[in-house]
Structure 1
Amino acid sequence: MELRTLYRLAAPSAVALLALTTGCTGDTVQGRPGASGLRDPYFPRAGNGGYQVDHYALDLDYDPADGRLHGKAVITARAEQALSSFNLDFSGLNVEGVTVQGEGARYNRTGNELTVRPAEDLAKGEVFRTEVDYSGKPKPLVDVDGAKEGWITTSDGAVAVGEPVGSMTWFPGNHHPGDKAAYDITITVPRGYEAVSNGELRSRTEDADGRTAFAWHSPEPMASYLATAAVGPFKVTTGRTPSGVGLYSAVAPGEQAANTGPLARLPEMVEWGSGRFGPYPFASAGAIVVPAGTLSYALETQGRPVFSGAPTEEELVVHELAHQWFGDSVSPKTWKDMWLNEGFATYAEWLWAEDHGGSTAQEYFEAFRTGDTDVDRDAGSDWYAFPPAAPPGPADISAEPVYYRGAMVLHRIRQEVGDEKFFALVRGWVADHRHGNVSTADFTAYAEKKTGHDLKKVWDVWLYGKDRPE
């Protein structure tokens, strides 16, 4: 996510939901319930314990005319303990039925938790399939800064953005970045609309009722906050980069400037990023441009970032593209590790400028140290307010220090070890943790091992130090 667009102070307000119960009665249970949260340092109720998801199959039907979403989620997961019940994060929509392993399951709703009680206990290690049928008019969540996430209606359709937990407004799941899964998302819309999601478009099928089903496939693991679904009368363009990465972009009417502005350099940027960071980590790249004003930020939805209006700055496109390596492929273990997403993406902006005739990364670094806003207009910000690896709370995980001081941490490593070892570190980090989850402790240990340097002073002063670094 691009800080220049909006500081995402992500602490969504929960909508109180009525509990409901239905289904058949199971036998006496022997397992124990899965936890209703993963105890994330900032969002302790996000995610669920007791299982890991392998695959989501989402079958969605949406009509912009009435704003109603009909969905079926088929969730294939593996039990990590014997389970008498388990939870799914789900907000707002009506649940019409739940089955587990093909049998009707009891369930109830409390707030944003859907608790499912299978007819029979699930054994530890058992792979199980849960189906949830649901419908209704999705409602977005509102963050403390007034920004919205989740299912957002546009002037002529809708778009789904999920950081940090907004995806629970349009499908039930284990909504924490620590549980990544493969996805198949099919979206059926009225004729004349396009439906865009992550991964590759496998089929486009029209039925006799004048509706079109778009089937999207994402085989690489994906955190649920990176999943998207966009519906609108988009203009779609396709192609390939010189190295063969597929391109698929969808642009809303009225945003045609995207085709000639910074986004037009996306193929070049993909090739550049592959040279700097290692091979592009997904089968396809692209963008979704929704009408200007739909959102107050851009988001790095996997393989296909969402922009609100045609982007006007190359830095914004580079930032969201860099997240495909840093945040999407190599994802945080917890929301406390956000600087590993945003610090790297911000440093990628500096590297792009350095490689294309602009200011060097060293000049950006010095500009922030001295407050030189001629080099970067945000150099006068409170980038030093707190250590990037220890934000004070959930409202701070997307504030200036996470982005800019996070980038400065990386530059300090580069200063200490030199360019050859630094860029070998960056490429090795991406390759060795491809499609995985990482923590700050993982990174600091890896950096010292990969470079052979003692970087304790960098960590103590720049990454964890409470005072302004000098």
Structure 2
Amino acid sequence: MTAFSIIFFSFTFVLPVSAQTGKPNFNRAQTFDVQHYILRINFDRPNKKIYGDTTVRLKPLSNNFKLIELDAAGLDFETVALVPENKILQFRTSGEKVYVELDKIYSPEDTISIRFVYTAMPKKGIYFVDAEVENGKIIRDSQIWTQGEAEEAHHWFPSFDFPSDKATTEQYITAEKGETVVGNGELIGQTENSDGKVTFHYKMPVPHSTYLVSFIVGKFVKVSEIYKTIPLGFYVYPGKESIVPKAYGRAKNMFRTFEELTKIDYPYNKYDQTMVANFNFGGMENITATTMADTEIFAADFNFAQGGVEDLVSHELAHSWFGNLVTCKNWAELWLNEGFATFMEAAYREKMYGRQDYLRKIRSDAKQFIVDDAVNKNRHGLFNQLARPDDSIFDTTTYQKGGAVIHTLRETVGDEVFWRALNVYLNRHKFGNVETSDLQTALEETSGKNLEWFFRQWVYGAGSPKLDVIQLYNPKSKTLRLTVSQVQKVDGITPESFILPLEIEIKTTNGTKTEKLEIKNRMENFSFKLNGKPTEIKLDKNEKIPLKTVRIQPLVIQSK
């Protein structure tokens, strides 16, 4: 998901966290594994109501299994039955849960299918958007679309609504004649019903988390292209087809770049991108069917905004590898989705436009985080210890800091090792779920380095280093002494001292030299023998660690 607008972004916040070393377990316990959802949805548009018919196929994870607990918010169940026997089952609802009593005890060898028939007027998950009318003329037709992240799917179908459970899905969405339905996976067919409405049947055969399940209903024109054998669909409003080359014209380059970098082909059978109205985010990486805010896509009409649109499109596509192919196991680990998608925006730019544009993007992300972190009273590490399943998790820490930290990780282990480790990470966990420890393991195995220090300060710690540098030059001995102090505020989650392997470039009246230094304490002194008076020093000239602020004091000449 892209949380911030191209034109502006808003700061969100989360609550402060406790010490990072003893992190709590954010994984959700499961007693069953959902295998497949069949979703049938009809609409009562005037009342913003849905008629749902969902079949959940699952397997118990242990013996003596007799009670199913699913997430369900505001669903008014008419019947709950075991299928194909059509045996009516007893159920009860409490809060945002439905509990189903099975007809007997089951074991892990069994497969159970439960059919739920219900109605709902969803407060989340499904959004009804009225037509835009101007002077009695329809400017844009009405729409219905879903938004699942973080946990909104259970507002329109009973489910295990948490990222750790992946299942295949099948959708039967009924729309008005003349409307288009965009869903996940392959369009199997369309059926015209006796009432004149049309039911679209989509099937997604690759397991995915519930927050990635989506559909969009409305009037669209589809512009089709193809990348290798992958059909690409760009769904825009009628008469707005000219926006496609401006907003999506580089999509094939993005596919090629991400495949080359990860050495993993795009893992699905299609890729659709659809604009919608009143979308709360820039975009959402619903599996094979990304949703885009129309305001963001139409921004491609303006030269000054086209770079932001390009970043949005690449960000959402990058989730096909980082977020959809491998998915964070819980919301505390969301940076593994969003930090990587943000980093891949820059990696794409590096391939297309060169190293300096890559660094510009990384630098911009780092600055956005640092500005936010300076004024935000509620801060957290990349591993977000008080992550909540709401919009508070979509912030500059998870996105911008995440991308900048991944850049520093790349610089720490080296380019070749970094991309090889990501290939290991993606292949090892493809179609599954991941935690930070999985990424760390892949990098340590591939690099042969112990990276505990790196993850401790950059992932489990908060904030960033703030350096104050005092220069003292002795002309008699031609020695430059630097006193480097880490002056970031220590608050229990920000490290007192970061470990910072850096290069320093020192210019003198007689030339330039580069030295390596490792800053690891709150205050340290470094001495350098020079061939003349220093005229300028640059700390971290190549920006391997962009997440820092540095204040270099004026040079002091030692008089004695």
Name the TM-score class by shorter chain: 0.7 to 0.9
* 1:59-101 deviations in Å (ceiling 9; x for gaps): 2222535533212111110011222211111111311100124
**Once structures 1 and 2 are overlaid, which stretch shifts more, 359-368 or 159-168?**
359-368
Q: Give the letter for the 1:428 counterpart.
A: V
Q: Give the letter for the 2:372 counterpart.
A: S
**Does the aligned pair in 1 maintain the 2:186–2:270 contact within 8 Å?**
yes
Match of 2:127 in 1: 152
Q: Give the letter for the 1:91 counterpart.
A: A
Pairing 1:447–2:428 present: no
Larger radius of gyration: 2
**Once structures 1 and 2 are overlaid, which stretch shifts more, 178-187 or 270-279?**
270-279
Out of 374, 382, 386, the residue aligned to residue 380 of structure 2 is 386
Out of 90, 93, 115, the residue aligned to residue 72 of structure 2 is 90
Pairing 1:177–2:163 present: yes
Match of 1:64 in 2: 45
Taking the aligned partners of 1:431 and 1:387, their CA distance within structure 2 comes to 27
Match of 1:131 in 2: 115
Aligned pairs for 1:25-424 within 5 A: 49-81=30-62, 82-101=64-83, 102=85, 103-140=87-124, 150-155=125-130, 156-241=142-227, 243-253=228-238, 256=241, 258-277=243-262, 278-291=264-277, 293-309=278-294, 310-311=296-297, 312=299, 313-357=309-353, 359-367=356-364, 371=367, 380-382=371-373, 385-394=379-388, 396-424=392-420
Taking the aligned partners of 2:310 and 2:258, their CA distance within structure 1 comes to 14
Deviation at 1:183, TM superposition (A): 0.6
Taking the aligned partners of 1:461 and 1:298, their CA distance within structure 2 comes to 30
Please state whether the residue corresponding to 2:380 is helix, strand or coil. Answer: coil
**Does the aligned pair in 2 maintain the 1:258–1:264 contact within 8 Å?**
no
**Does the aligned pair in 1 maintain the 2:2–2:281 contact within 8 Å?**
no
Deviation at 1:255, TM superposition (A): 5.3
Pair 303,368 (structure 1): closer, same or farther in 2 beyond 3 Å: closer
Taking the aligned partners of 1:295 and 1:274, their CA distance within structure 2 comes to 30
Deviation at 1:399, TM superposition (A): 1.7
Consecutive unaligned residues of structure 2, counting only runs of 5 or more, are: 15-23, 131-141, 300-308, 466-547, 549-560
Deviation at 1:247, TM superposition (A): 1.6
Match of 2:478 in 1: none
Q: Give the letter for the 2:191 counterpart.
A: T
Pair 368,90 (structure 1): closer, same or farther in 2 beyond 3 Å: closer
Pair 260,153 (structure 1): closer, same or farther in 2 beyond 3 Å: same
Q: Give the letter for the 1:85 counterpart.
A: L
Pair 10,228 (structure 1): closer, same or farther in 2 beyond 3 Å: farther
**Does the aligned pair in 2 maintain the 1:57–1:184 contact within 8 Å?**
yes
Q: Give the letter for the 1:166 counterpart.
A: E
Pair 295,465 (structure 1): closer, same or farther in 2 beyond 3 Å: closer
Deviation at 1:253, TM superposition (A): 4.5
Deviation at 1:254, TM superposition (A): 6.9
Match of 1:21 in 2: none
Aligned pair count? 422
Q: Give the letter for the 1:329 counterpart.
A: L
Pair 109,254 (structure 1): closer, same or farther in 2 beyond 3 Å: farther
Deviation at 1:304, TM superposition (A): 1.3
Taking the aligned partners of 1:258 and 1:223, their CA distance within structure 2 comes to 31
Taking the aligned partners of 1:193 and 1:367, their CA distance within structure 2 comes to 41
Please state whether the residue corresponding to 1:327 is helix, strand or coil. Answer: coil
**Does the aligned pair in 1 maintain the 2:370–2:464 contact within 8 Å?**
no
Please state whether the residue corresponding to 1:119 is helix, strand or coil. Answer: strand
Please state whether the residue corresponding to 2:348 is helix, strand or coil. Answer: helix
**Does the aligned pair in 1 maintain the 2:120–2:156 contact within 8 Å?**
no
Taking the aligned partners of 2:437 and 2:11, their CA distance within structure 1 comes to 24
**Once structures 1 and 2 are overlaid, which stretch shifts more, 316-325 or 2-11?**
2-11
User: Identity of counterpart residues, as a percentage?
Assistant: 26
Deviation at 1:170, TM superposition (A): 1.1
Deviation at 1:403, TM superposition (A): 1.3
Pair 129,217 (structure 1): closer, same or farther in 2 beyond 3 Å: same
Taking the aligned partners of 2:158 and 2:344, their CA distance within structure 1 comes to 34
**Does the aligned pair in 2 maintain the 1:10–1:164 contact within 8 Å?**
no
**Does the aligned pair in 1 maintain the 2:127–2:145 contact within 8 Å?**
yes
Please state whether the residue corresponding to 2:224 is helix, strand or coil. Answer: strand
Please state whether the residue corresponding to 1:261 is helix, strand or coil. Answer: helix
Q: Give the letter for the 1:69 counterpart.
A: I
Match of 1:457 in 2: 453
* 1:229-252 deviations in Å (ceiling 9; x for gaps): 1111122233321x2112233224
Taking the aligned partners of 2:41 and 2:145, their CA distance within structure 1 comes to 13
Pair 59,367 (structure 1): closer, same or farther in 2 beyond 3 Å: closer
**Does the aligned pair in 2 maintain the 1:160–1:228 contact within 8 Å?**
yes
Pair 360,426 (structure 1): closer, same or farther in 2 beyond 3 Å: farther
Deviation at 1:341, TM superposition (A): 0.4
Deviation at 1:418, TM superposition (A): 1.6
Taking the aligned partners of 2:283 and 2:188, their CA distance within structure 1 comes to 26
Taking the aligned partners of 2:12 and 2:93, their CA distance within structure 1 comes to 27
CA root-mean-square deviation: 2.5
Pair 258,186 (structure 1): closer, same or farther in 2 beyond 3 Å: farther
Deviation at 1:391, TM superposition (A): 4.3
TM-score by length of 2: 0.70
Deviation at 1:258, TM superposition (A): 3.8
Pair 192,108 (structure 1): closer, same or farther in 2 beyond 3 Å: same
**Does the aligned pair in 2 maintain the 1:63–1:190 contact within 8 Å?**
no
**Does the aligned pair in 1 maintain the 2:123–2:155 contact within 8 Å?**
yes
Taking the aligned partners of 2:45 and 2:225, their CA distance within structure 1 comes to 28
Pair 9,80 (structure 1): closer, same or farther in 2 beyond 3 Å: farther
Please state whether the residue corresponding to 1:260 is helix, strand or coil. Answer: helix
